[in-house]
Amino acid sequence: METFDNIKNNLFNSVGLKMVLIAFLSLGLLIPASMITGLIREREKRHDETMQNVSNTWGNAQTLGGPVLTLMCKTTEKTGQNEFRTLTRYAHFLPDKLEVTGTVEPEISYRGIYKVVTYRTILHVAGSFLPPDPVLLQISPAEIEGQPAWVEIGLSDLRGINQNILMQWGDSQLTLMPGIPSQQVSTLGVHTRVPLVQNIPVHFAFDLDLNGSHSLNFIPIGRETSVSLSSPWNDPSFNGAFLPDDRKITRSGFTANWQVLQLNRSYPQQWTDNQYSVEGSSFGVDLKTPVDMYQKSMRSVKYAILFIGLTFLVFFFAEVMTRIRIHPVNYLLTGTALVIFYSLLTALSEYIPFGVAYLVAVLTIIGMISFFSHSLYHDKRVTAVIILVLAALYAFLYVILQLADYSLLVGNVGLVIILGLVMYFSRKIDWYSPLRGRNQPE
C-alpha cells in the first residue's frame, strides 16, 4: 500500500504531468479567445453597417465620368421580300480637353459611438469637344441624319446632387436631366440634348455641387485630363489607377493635381456601343477615417497563445523555484484574465484612441495578475518578475501592431529571443524529479 501511495504522490507531483496540464489549459483557453475574435468581427461589421447607413442618406462615394458626346445612329436593312429591320447603335466621343477644379469640405457625422466622414464638394468642370468624325467609326452621314445627340455625365449617386446642373454648351445654356439614354459608357448620371457639333470645337463648362462619403473619384475621359483638388482634410489617401503628379499635405489640409493623357488609358477617343469600359481608369482621393482598431485587435488576438503560454511558464518556474504548489484553478483564472484583455481592448478602443485603450487595458490586466500572483507566492521578487515579463510582452505586442510592413520579421525575431530565454532559464530544471512543494509559504 505504501508503494501505491508513493507512486500516486510522485505522479501527482510530477513536473512533466504539471507541464502537460498547463499545456491543456493553454489550448483550452484558445476557445474563449476565438469567441472574442468573433466578437471583434461582429463589432467591425456593425461599424461598417453604420457607415453605410449614413452614406445612404447623405450620399455614397462619388465618381465623375463625363461629359461624353453620344450620337444615335440608325440603319434599315432588308430581311425579306417586304420585311425590313431597323438597327440602332450609339457612337461615343470623348472630349479633347477636360479640366476639373474643386474643393472638398469634410463633414463629421456621428451615429451612436461611431464617427462617419462625409463631404460636400463643389467642382468646376470645363473643356472642349472636337467636331466628331463618324467616318472613323464607319458610320455614314445618312445614319446620323435627323437623329438625336446628347451629352451624358456619369455620376455614381444622384442623391448627392444639391443644385440643378446648368451646362454652358458653346453659346447655349442647357439644363441637364436625370438618366443616361444609352447606358453604355455610364449607367447612372445625367444628360442633355445638344446640337451636333459642326466644323469647329465647342467649349463646355458646368458646376457640380455634390454630397458624398468615403471617396471622390474621376474618370480621365479627356484626351488631356487635369484635376486639381484642395481640402482642409489632412489625412487623405490617394487611390485608383493614377496617383497625383503633385500633392502637398499639411496639418491644415491637402492639395493635389493629376495630369492624365489619352496614352495613359486603355480606350480610345471614340467607339460604338459598349466596346470599351472606362471604370478601371478611375482615380481620386479617399477621405475615410482610418479605422484600424478592429484590425489591430484582431491581430493582437493571434498572439493569445503566446501570452498564455509564457505567463503560465513564468508561474511554473516560480512554482519550481519557490516550492509553492499552485493549483490548476489559479492558472485558469490567470489565463482568463489574459483572454479578457482582448475584449477589454476592443471595447475601450471604440471610445478612446487605440494607444490609450491599449495602455489602460494593459495596466488593468497586469494589475490584476500581479496582485493575484503576490497573494499566491507572497514574494515581491516573484511578483516583480511576473510584472516585468508581462510588461515586456505587451510592449512587444504593441510594437508589432504598429509595424504593418515589418511585423512578421519583428515577430519572428522576438519569438526566437523569447525561446532562447526560456531554454536558458529552464536548463537546470530536473524534469524527472517530483514537484514537492508546500501549499503555503513558511
Q: pLDDT tens for residues 323-334?
A: 777 788 888 888
User: Residue 243, SS3?
Assistant: coil
Distance CA 228, CA 214 (A): 18
Q: Can you name the residues that pair with 28 across neighbouring β-strands?
A: none
Q: Which of 302, 369, 284 is nearest to 334 (CA)?
A: 369
Query: Residue 8: its pLDDT value, please?
Result: 46
User: Residue 275, SS3?
Assistant: coil
Of 47-51, 59-63, 408-412, minimum mean pLDDT range: 408-412
- Calculate the CA 39 to chain-centre distance: 18
Q: Which residue has the higher pLDDT, 98 or 301?
A: 98
Statement: residue 442 has pLDDT above 50:
no
Contact 205, 167 (CB under 8 A): yes
Query: Residue 207: its pLDDT value, please?
Result: 95
The string of pLDDT tens digits covering residues 75-121 is 776 666 666 677 888 889 999 999 999 999 998 777 777 777 889 99
Q: List b or e across 265-284, with b for residues whose CB sees 16 or more CB atoms inside 10 angstroms.
A: bebebbbbeeebebeebbbb
Statement: residue 312 has pLDDT above 90:
no
Q: Give the pLDDT band (50/70/90) at residue 129.
A: very high
* Residue listed under C-alpha cell 478612446: 352
Query: Residue 15: its pLDDT value, please?
Result: 64
Statement: residue 365 has pLDDT above 80:
yes
Distance CA 259, CA 280 (A): 17
Please tell me which of 24-33, 212-221, 390-399 the model is most confident about, judged by mean pLDDT: 212-221
Query: Residue 417: its pLDDT value, please?
Result: 81
Contact 44, 51 (CB under 8 A): no
Contact 253, 232 (CB under 8 A): yes
Query: Residue 197: its pLDDT value, please?
Result: 65
Contact 359, 341 (CB under 8 A): no
Q: Give the pLDDT band (50/70/90) at residue 440.
A: very low
* Residue 149: partners with Cβ closer than 8 Å, 6 or more residues away: 69, 70, 71, 72, 193, 194, 195, 196
Query: Residue 101: its pLDDT value, please?
Result: 96
Query: Residue 294: its pLDDT value, please?
Result: 83
Annotate 107-159 with DSSP letters as a single string: EEEEETTEEEEEEEEEEEEEEEEPPP-GGGGT--HHHHTT--EEEEEEES-GG
* Residue 295: partners with Cβ closer than 8 Å, 6 or more residues away: none
Find out whether the peptide bond into 178 is cis, omega within 30 degrees of 0.
Answer: no
Statement: residue 148 has pLDDT above 90:
no
Distance CA 273, CA 91 (A): 6
Query: Residue 434: its pLDDT value, please?
Result: 54
- Read off φ and ψ for residue 214, nearest 5 degrees: 70, -65
What value does the mean pLDDT of the chain take? 83
Q: Which residue has the higher pLDDT, 143 or 221?
A: 221
**pTM listed for this prediction:** 0.73
Query: Residue 402: its pLDDT value, please?
Result: 77
- Cell matching residue 419: 525561446
Q: Which of 378, 368, 371, 382 is nearest to 339 (CA)?
A: 368
Of 138-147, 248-257, 278-287, minimum mean pLDDT range: 138-147
Please tell me which of 15-29, 248-262, 339-353 the model is most confident about, judged by mean pLDDT: 248-262
CB atoms within 10 A of CB 182: 21
Average pLDDT over residues 359-371: 91
Residue 194: burial class (beta carbons within 10 Å; 0-12, 13-18, 19+): buried
Percentage of the chain beyond pLDDT 90 is 31
Q: Which of 119, 128, 186 is nearest to 152 (CA)?
A: 186
Distance CA 142, CA 253 (A): 54
Average pLDDT over residues 352-361: 89
Element (H, E) at 215: strand 215-218
Distance CA 364, CA 96 (A): 64
User: Residue 88, SS3?
Assistant: strand
Domains of the chain, earliest start first: 14-45+293-425 (no CATH), 60-286 (2.60.40)
Query: Residue 242: its pLDDT value, please?
Result: 93
Query: Residue 1: its pLDDT value, please?
Result: 47
**DSSP conformational letter for 245:** S
Q: Give the pLDDT band (50/70/90) at residue 16.
A: low
